[in-house]
């Protein structure tokens, strides 16, 4: 059983075939339609489709003014792209701790403790699609005049109160990688209500050029100016076509994810010393991107995962803390992250995708219960 899976059907095949036959494959009308629909769905004023979630983070950081001599706060329990993009702006990542084993999101209290005279921004990730404590984070950012960049790669459709994750801070970033809630292979989105920030991101996305090929093809422009040194972070028409289909399915598929996580929680939380972080709350809506369990103390994770693999069940770890990687060890001595360290060797991600059957869920829960008994 795979960790995640995509469902390819006739609707997607027909949509892609129509785009192929159109003869226009680079960024064009379908990308524009996707941007319009995603802005409407999220409630953001601007939505800019990009090549991947990493490109979204890089553009958000640059458009927010992050650069050399700046520091950017970021949780270490995170995918390494967050730190890589900070470094690529010339800024320095400052790794921060999580709230604890029951809430794997970044701790607002530790963010506050990490603020220094060079702090320019904070990147928060809604771990597994569960919203961060955005009220405390926004208050902290306002007090210290910090930009808030939301890494909502796990959270399309997640809500903090009435607001969609990604639209709460200054700028939000989404990923449409194949294992995400809105999967298209590679792709992403930048959303913001800030007109100036959106314009900077739009220019940086395509080599700093004032017009795109599609604009010139339609006769809306005959040439272009280059006003800054940008990148090629554009999305293409084929993936935008898939994204439009997947966007129409997102809320239903998120509901299916929630149903499966509820089954996992009922069967596993508290069983043989296991726990599942992020107990259900009424004030937020999770996108349920991940189904994560926290192994009991003393349980050997490698043996536990091996036991599940013997039954054909794939698992993963989200995430090895960034500060432990060789490339970032120089930053690890600057701050202690006790709560991150306490869970780092105990996290395991279980299979989760919208079309999982109940029998598949029971196969996973039976294997997990058996593995915890045998390896603890």
159 Cβ neighbours under 8 A, 6+ residues apart: 131, 165, 284, 285
Q: What is the pLDDT of residues 308-364, one digit of tens each?
A: 999 999 999 999 999 999 999 888 778 999 999 999 999 999 999 999 999 999 999
Pairing of strands 119-125, 71-75: parallel
pLDDT at 163 over 80: yes
Domain match, 62 and 157 both = yes
Does the pLDDT of residue 219 top 70, yes or no?
no
pLDDT at 54 over 90: yes
- Inside any domain, residue 5: no
Of the residues 246, 276, 298, the one at which a domain ends: 246
pLDDT at 1: 94
- pLDDT tens sequence across 101-136: 999 999 999 999 999 999 999 999 999 999 999 999
Q: Given 224, 246, 268, which residue is the final one in a domain?
A: 246
Q: What is the 3-state secondary structure (H, E, C) of 220-256?
A: CCCCCCECCCCCECCCCHHHHHHHHHHHHHHHHHHHH
Whether 180 sits among the annotated catalytic residues: the reply is yes
Is residue 216's pLDDT more than 90? no
Written as six digits, the tokens of 34 are 């996707």
State the pLDDT at residue 293. Answer: 98
Residue 3 domain flag: no
Give residue 145's region: left, alpha or beta (phi > 0; psi -120 to 50).
left
Of 317, 313, 318, give the one whose Cα is nearest residue 367.
313
Catalytic residue among 180, 257, 305, 339: 180
Domains held by the chain: number: 2
pLDDT tens-digit series, residues 74-97: 999 999 999 999 999 999 999 999
Residue 104 is encoded by which pair of tokens? 């794997």
Are the beta carbons of 151 and 123 closer than 8 angstroms? yes
pLDDT over 80 (residue 215) = no
* Beta-strand pair 119-125/147-151: parallel
Question: According to the model, what pLDDT value does residue 211 have?
Answer: 78
Same domain flag for 158 and 62: yes
274's tokens: 């296991």
Do residues 98 and 181 both lie within one domain? yes
Residue 174 scores a pLDDT above 90: yes
Residue 366 belongs to a domain with what CATH number?
Answer: 3.90.1150.10
Q: Reply yes or no on whether the pLDDT at 259 is more than 80.
A: yes
Give the dihedral sign, CA 64/69/71/77: positive
Per-residue pLDDT of 260-273, as tens digits, reads 999 999 999 999 99
pLDDT at residue 166 above 90?
yes
pLDDT in tens, 221-251: 667 899 999 999 999 999 999 999 999 999 9
**Residue that is last in its domain, among 209, 226, 246:** 246
Residue 328, domain extent: 251-375
Least confident of 47-61, 136-150, 190-204, 217-231: 217-231
């Amino acid at each position: 059983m795979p960790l995640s899976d995509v469902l390819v059907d006739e609707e997607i095949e027909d949509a892609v075939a129509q785009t192929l036959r159109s003869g226009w494959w680079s960024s064009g009308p379908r990308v524009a339609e996707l941007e319009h629909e995603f802005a409407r769905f999220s409630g953001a004023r601007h939505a800019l489709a990009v090549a991947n979630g990493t490109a979204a983070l890089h553009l958000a950081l640059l458009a927010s003014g992050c650069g050399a001599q700046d520091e950017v706060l970021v949780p270490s329990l995170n995918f390494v792209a967050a730190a890589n993009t900070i470094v690529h702006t010339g800024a320095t990542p400052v790794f921060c701790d999580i709230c604890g084993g029951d809430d794997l999101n970044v701790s607002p209290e530790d963010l506050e403790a990490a603020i220094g005279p060079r702090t320019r921004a904070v990147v928060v990730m809604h771990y597994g699609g569960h919203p961060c404590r955005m009220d405390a984070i926004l208050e902290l950012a306002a007090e210290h005049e910090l930009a808030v960049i939301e890494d909502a790669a796990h959270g399309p459709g997640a809500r903090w109160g009435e607001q969609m994750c990604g639209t709460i801070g200054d700028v939000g970033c989404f990923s449409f990688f194949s294992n995400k809630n809105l999967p298209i292979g590679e792709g992403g989105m930048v959303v913001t209500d800030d007109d100036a920030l959106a314009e900077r991101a739009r220019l940086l996305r395509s080599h700093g050029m004032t017009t795109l090929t599609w604009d010139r093809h339609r006769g809306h422009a005959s040439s272009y100016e280059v006003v800054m040194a940008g990148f090629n972070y554009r999305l293409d028409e084929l993936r935008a076509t898939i994204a439009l289909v997947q966007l129409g399915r997102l809320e239903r598929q998120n509901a299916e994810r929630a149903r499966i996580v509820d089954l996992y929680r009922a069967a596993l939380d508290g069983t043989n010393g296991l726990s599942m972080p992020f107990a259900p709350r009424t004030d937020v809506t999770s996108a349920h991107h991940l189904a994560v369990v926290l192994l009991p103390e003393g349980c050997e994770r490698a043996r536990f995962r091996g036991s599940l693999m013997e039954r054909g069940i794939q698992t993963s770890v989200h995430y090895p803390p960034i500060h432990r990687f060789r490339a970032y060890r120089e930053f690890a001595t600057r701050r202690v992250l006790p709560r991150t360290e306490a869970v780092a060797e105990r996290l395991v991600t279980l299979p989760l995708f919208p079309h999982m059957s109940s029998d598949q869920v029971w196969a996973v829960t039976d294997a997990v219960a058996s593995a915890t008994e045998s390896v603890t």
